[in-house]
């Protein structure tokens, strides 16, 4: 996640925007370092700082202390209050009309955002609104269960790893059979818990910065494809590439899949070499 970086510089903005001659009077001296004549007396340098603060605030909010790290109900309620207040402010800055644009910047930015600007603003606003709704519904009893599932998830993973090593070293066929049965039982529990874990709203809320970065990349590179919450949409051909779920959960999916494959290999070896015994 970007930390205290410039998402866009003044030079990048000026290199990508060709002022429209029809807006020369309204643009005023905006593209030359002075004020615009749209009514807000915006100055480009100040808008660059403002849009960078806006984007950084989005990431700071989405990447704030994780719910799993909260210790009690009081901490949760404080965390919720801070999140909701910040999200309300960010959502209000996603409102675009004839007098303002994303992040309260000058109307001249509508040229920069390009033809995808309105749509991407709605995507960003939807992401922040969904997060606010999720935060508002959070209860300590549900968070306790999620934290417990995470702890048990790690415990089962460790047990499977240790038992698999023991199985590989064990010479007694009966003991190997017992170990294999225990591993299979744990793997079934692991897969059930993994499904519950990945579908948890707490897991979703802890992985929203990836979706936000996709959307912001679209803002900063107006000619790139539009990216939504459920997948990636190519503006040129309309095709959909569902990479977001994989990007958010690939570590857990790879670990779970790895254990499953190791289990299949171990079972195959057992039946090939020990079935006659």
Look at residue 256 in the predicted model and tell me its pLDDT: 56
Q: What per-residue confidence (pLDDT) applies to 182? A: 92
Question: For position 109, what pLDDT does the model report?
Answer: 83
Residue 212: predicted pLDDT: 75
Q: Tell me the per-residue pLDDT of 224-268, one tens digit each, with 9 for 90 and over.
A: 433 332 333 333 332 323 344 444 455 555 555 565 566 656 665
- The predicted structure's pLDDT at residue 228: 31
Burial per residue of 61-72, b for 16 or more beta-carbon CB atoms within 10 angstroms, e otherwise: bbeeeebeebee
Written as six digits, the tokens of 2 are 């970007």
7-43 pLDDT tens trace: 888 888 888 777 888 888 999 999 999 999 988 899 9
Give the model's pLDDT for residue 117: 64
Domain locations in the chain?
A: 139-206+243-277
Q: What is the mean pLDDT of each run of 10 residues along the chain (277 residues)?
A: 67 82 90 90 92 87 85 94 93 74 81 65 86 90 88 89 90 91 90 79 74 71 41 32 44 56 60 54
Question: How many residues would you count in the chain?
Answer: 277
| Reported pTM | 0.64
Torsion of CA 187, 203, 250, 265, to 10 degrees: 0
């Amino acid at each position: 996640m970007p930390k205290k970086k410039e998402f866009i510089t003044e030079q990048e903005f000026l290199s990508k925007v060709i002022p429209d001659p029809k807006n020369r009077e309204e643009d005023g001296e905006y593209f030359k370092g002075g004020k615009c004549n749209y009514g807000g007396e915006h100055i480009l340098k100040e808008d660059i700082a403002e849009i960078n603060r806006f984007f950084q605030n989005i990431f700071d909010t989405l990447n704030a202390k994780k719910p799993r790290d909260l210790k009690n109900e009081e901490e949760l309620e404080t965390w919720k209050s801070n999140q909701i207040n910040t999200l309300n402010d960010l959502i209000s800055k996603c409102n675009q009309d004839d007098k303002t644009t994303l992040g309260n910047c000058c109307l001249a930015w509508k040229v920069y955002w390009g033809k995808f600007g309105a749509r991407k603003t709605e995507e960003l606003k939807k992401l922040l609104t969904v997060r606010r709704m999720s935060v508002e519904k959070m209860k300590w009893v549900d968070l306790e269960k999620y934290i417990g599932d995470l702890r048990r998830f790690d415990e089962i993973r460790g047990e499977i790893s240790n038992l698999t090593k023991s199985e590989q070293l064990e010479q007694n066929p009966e003991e190997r059979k017992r170990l294999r049965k225990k591993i299979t039982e744990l793997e079934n529990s692991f897969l059930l818990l993994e499904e519950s874990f990945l579908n948890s709203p707490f897991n979703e809320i802890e992985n929203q910065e990836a979706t936000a970065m996709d959307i912001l990349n679209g803002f900063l590179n107006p000619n790139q494809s539009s990216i939504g919450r459920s997948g990636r949409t190519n503006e040129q051909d309309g095709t959909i590439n569902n990479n977001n779920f994989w990007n958010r959960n690939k570590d857990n999916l790879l670990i779970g899949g790895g254990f499953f494959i190791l289990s299949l290999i171990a079972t195959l070896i057992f039946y090939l070499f020990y079935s006659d015994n």
